[in-house]
Structure formats: C-alpha cells, structure tokens
Amino acid sequence: MNDFLTDSRFKDIVPFSSRICLSSPTMHGDEQKWVDEAIRTNWVSTVGENINEVEKMTAEIINRKYAVALSAGTAALHLGIKLVGEKLYGQPKIGHGTLEGRKVFVSDMTFDATVNPIAYEGGEPVFIDTEYDTWNIDPIALEKAFELYPDVRVIVVAHLYGTPGKIDEIRAIADMHDALIVEDAAESLGATYKGIQTGNFGAASIISYNGNKILTGSSGGMFLTDKIEDANKIRKWSTQSREDAAWYQHEEMGYNYRMSNIIAGIVRGQLPYLNEHIVQKKQIYERYKEGLADLPVKMNPYDEINSEPNFWMSCMTIDEESMCQQVRGEKDSLYLTEPGKSCPTEILSALSAFNAEGRPIWKPMHMQPLYRMTPFITADGNGRGRTNAYISESGTDVGADIFNRGLCLPSDNKMKPEEQNIIIDIIHRCFL
C-alpha cells in the first residue's frame, strides 16, 4: 500500500482539513422551518401538510399529474414493479409476487436497489449490458435479449449518475414487444431528454430523495404517474392496504412504505433549490472536464444533442493504454504504480489519503455474487460461460470495462473551486 503523504509525487500537497465528500446533503435553512412546523403541530407521522405539499410540488416540477411520497426510492420502485406486474399478470396468491417465475430485463450497471425489487416480486432479472455513449442500458443488447426471451413484458431502466439513457430507442423496442417500462430515475431528478424530464417515460416511474442525491430528505422517494387509479393503488399499498372501513380491514398485501411528515418537511425545503443544485453540479463537471483534458481520461458521457443530465455525479474513465496494473477481488484490490499510468484504485487511494472521497463505478450486477448465475446479455448476443453470460467471442462486456477503468470523483456542490483544483492536481500526479 502506497503512503501518499510521503510519496515524492505529492510532497507539497497538504490534506484537506475538512473531508471533501462525494455528494453530501446541502441544506439551505428552509428545511428547518417545515420540520419545526411538523413538530409544532404534532404532525410527525405519515400524514400532514408537508407530505401533501411535496407530492404537489414534485408532480409540478417533473410535470406528472400525480406523485406519491414514500419512505425510499427503493420502496417506490418495489411498488411500481408490483403495479406493472399486476397490470400484466393479475393479483398473485398470498406468498407469491406479481412476477412469480417470470424474467425481467433490467439495467446491468446500477445500484442493486434497481434490481432487488424484481426479486421481491418473485421475478428473475436478466441483465442488459451498458453502452459507452451514456453508460446506460444498450438498446442493441435489449433487442438481442428479446430474441432470446421473447415472452418478457417488463423492462426496468435506470438513468445512471443523472444521465438519461437512449429513451426513444428503448421505448420503441418495448412497444414492439408489448412490454412495459419501469423507470428508475432515482439519480436523475431534473435531467431531461428532448426537453422532457426523466420520470415521465415509464408505465411506472420513481425518483429518490436519499441522503446523497441532488435533493434530499435524508431518505424518501416518489412514485410518479398520470393515472389517478395508479396513484391511489400505490398510496393504499404503502399504508398496509387498509380498506375503507371503521376497523382494520385487509383484502390484499400491503407495506409500511409511506413517507413521514418530518422527512417531507426536509424535502419541502429542498425542492425550490433544484435548479441551483443542477447549475452547481454542472460547474463541477465542466471544471473536471477542462482540468483533466490533458490526461488520458474521459468524463462520463452524455448525448449532448438530446439530453441534459443533472450532473449529479462527475465520473471518469482512464484510457485503456494508460491503465496501470490493477487486480480486484470481491472486497480488496491491488495495483502497481507505473510511470505515466494510473488506475482507479491508485487515484481513489490518493484522494482518500488527502481527505477527499471518491468511489468506484457501480459494479455491474452480473458480476455481483448475489446475481452471478443470472442471465446477462451484451450487444453481441452470443452465449458462453458457466454463468449464463451472453458475451461476445472477444469477451466484450461494456459494464465490466467501465467498472474496471472508471471512478466517481468528489462531486459535492459545496466543494470550492480551489478545493477541486487540488483534487485535479492530485489526479495529475497519479500519472507521473
């Protein structure tokens, strides 16, 4: 393990006195007002004016008719997947999910919260490889997946790091196969595709207000829809499916998934600052892009003609020929320092040594031990390997490649330009 504090390449750099975070909550003061109001009026549970307001405000910002406030983005995604499954296959028997025994296509390079709700509902995920243009689900791989599994009717699409995927192509393929899209816009609040915000493209769509997102309630999420009957169904399920009776009457499975009025108070104070946060995040991205332009690296890409990310997370990949030797196990990694080269493990270790937080790219789901025997489809559609992975003869696996060569950079919107310049300098010195 390199001691970067004594490494001659870094001899004149002083560690940050306060940690530079990857992406921490940014409070403005309004949050306290609405939390205090909830406490003062004793509305601290899962009903109250804050909840009503954040549902209204979120729906208006995203331009959906209805939003349902839930305890987490994962809870919203679970109920969205359950809703789509029920629409397609009907209400399941007790102890079974709406997707019981059925395959579901899902983004491969994402957080496992995108995938686990499929399993909650008894479904089997089929991972669709990533494409290099946006780091999102590859439409070509999706078409190959339908050739292999023509009966699939559900596609779960995530917008990685706040960057919209190729929505038109994905929706055209879904329509051709009579499939429904569940849109995981947890990371992409405020991002647009052809002028339309993410959160508008699914039969069920969700966003997250988790602690590190572009806006936060410390936790919380939203289900989004234009259909009142869907909003009412989600609201009922999220409150233990209690029927309209004087006693506790239950006729279908329910969950304790409603957002609290305290959390909603924080979100209520955050929502007016969405555009401000997006501007700050974009400035961070652009400073990295300019400051690293002379290195053999590339920033996380997006479709500059059709989309505008929210720039929630600034990431980069190292050009293949400039990668130093790096080996990753399940939990640990090793690398060899090489002049003129670097790798994610070295850069992340250097940043950490100077009190700045980076992170590896999401490890693709087909590489996770939990899902290692689950089908995985690339753009080639060729099948081989004991893990049921469908990969090309040359071993093409875009998600694994981005994971190997990529990292998330400190993207906190409270980071000062001079602090970011030091981070850029540290990255440069890793290549000396």
Question: Which of 272, 301, 328 is the last residue in one of the domains?
Answer: 272
What percent of the chain has a predicted confidence (pLDDT) above 90? 94
Q: What is the reported pLDDT for 395?
A: 53
Whether residues 84 and 151 fall in one domain? yes
Q: What is the reported pLDDT for 122?
A: 97
On the CB side of 144, how many CA atoms lie within 13 Å of its CA?
22
Whether residues 334 and 404 fall in one domain? yes
Task: Give a yes or no: residue 380 inside a domain.
Answer: no
Whether residues 34 and 90 fall in one domain? yes
Question: Which of 225, 244, 272 is the last residue in one of the domains?
Answer: 272
Mean pLDDT of 115-123: 98
Q: What is the reported pLDDT for 295?
A: 98
Whether residues 114 and 168 fall in one domain? yes
Whether residues 303 and 195 fall in one domain? no
pLDDT at residue 317 is higher than 60: yes
Task: Give a yes or no: residue 387 inside a domain.
Answer: no
Whether residues 403 and 258 fall in one domain? no
CATH number at residue 408: 3.90.1150.10
Pairing of strands 154-158, 389-390: unpaired
Mean pLDDT of 107-134: 97
Per-residue pLDDT tens for 349-408?
Answer: 999 999 999 999 999 999 999 998 999 999 986 543 334 444 444 457 999 999 999 999
Task: Give a yes or no: residue 382 inside a domain.
Answer: no
Whether residues 55 and 94 fall in one domain? yes
Task: Give a yes or no: residue 3 inside a domain.
Answer: no
Per-residue pLDDT tens for 216-244?
Answer: 999 999 999 999 999 999 999 999 999 99
Structural domain that includes position 405:
8-21+274-365+396-430
Task: Give a yes or no: residue 342 inside a domain.
Answer: yes
Task: Give a yes or no: residue 1 inside a domain.
Answer: no
Whether residues 100 and 142 fall in one domain? yes
Mean pLDDT of 329-358: 96
Catalytic residues: 213
Q: What is the reported pLDDT for 382?
A: 54
Whether residues 134 and 204 fall in one domain? yes
Number of structural domains (the chain) is: 2
> Considering only CA atoms, which of 208, 221, 262, 279 is closest in space to residue 31?
262
Per-residue pLDDT tens for 236-291?
Answer: 999 999 999 999 999 999 999 999 999 999 999 999 999 999 999 999 999 999 99
Whether residues 202 and 325 fall in one domain? no
> Considering only CA atoms, which of 423, 281, 424 is closest in space to residue 352?
423
Task: Give a yes or no: residue 350 inside a domain.
Answer: yes
Question: Which of 234, 253, 272 is the last residue in one of the domains?
Answer: 272
Whether residues 147 and 223 fall in one domain? yes
Whether residues 243 and 299 fall in one domain? no
pTM, entire model = 0.95
> Considering only CA atoms, which of 269, 214, 207, 188 is closest in space to residue 411?
214
Mean pLDDT of 5-27: 96
> Considering only CA atoms, which of 203, 219, 208, 148 is closest in space to residue 170?
203
Backbone angles phi, psi at 162, to 5 degrees: 90, 10
CATH number at residue 229: 3.40.640.10
- 3-state SS track over the chain: CCCCCCCHHHCCCCCCCCCECCCCCCCCCHHHHHHHHHHHHCCCCCCCHHHHHHHHHHHHHHCCCEEEEECEHHHHHHHHHHHHHHHHHCCCCCCCCCCCCCEEEEECCCCHHHCHHHHHCCCEEEEECECCCCCCECHHHHHHHHHHCCCCCEEEEECHHHCCCCHHHHHHHHHHCCCEEEEECCCCCCCEECCEECCCCCCEEEEECCCCCCCCCCCEEEEEECCHHHHHHHHHHCECCECCCCCCCECCCCCECECCHHHHHHHHHHHHHHHHHHHHHHHHHHHHHHHCCCCCEEECCCCCCCEECCCCCCEEEECHHHECCEEECCCCEEECCCCCCECHHHHHHHHHHCCECCEECCCCHHHCHHHCCCCEECCCCCCCCCCCEECCCCCCCHHHHHHHHEEECCCCCCCCHHHHHHHHHHHHHHCC
Task: Give a yes or no: residue 384 inside a domain.
Answer: no
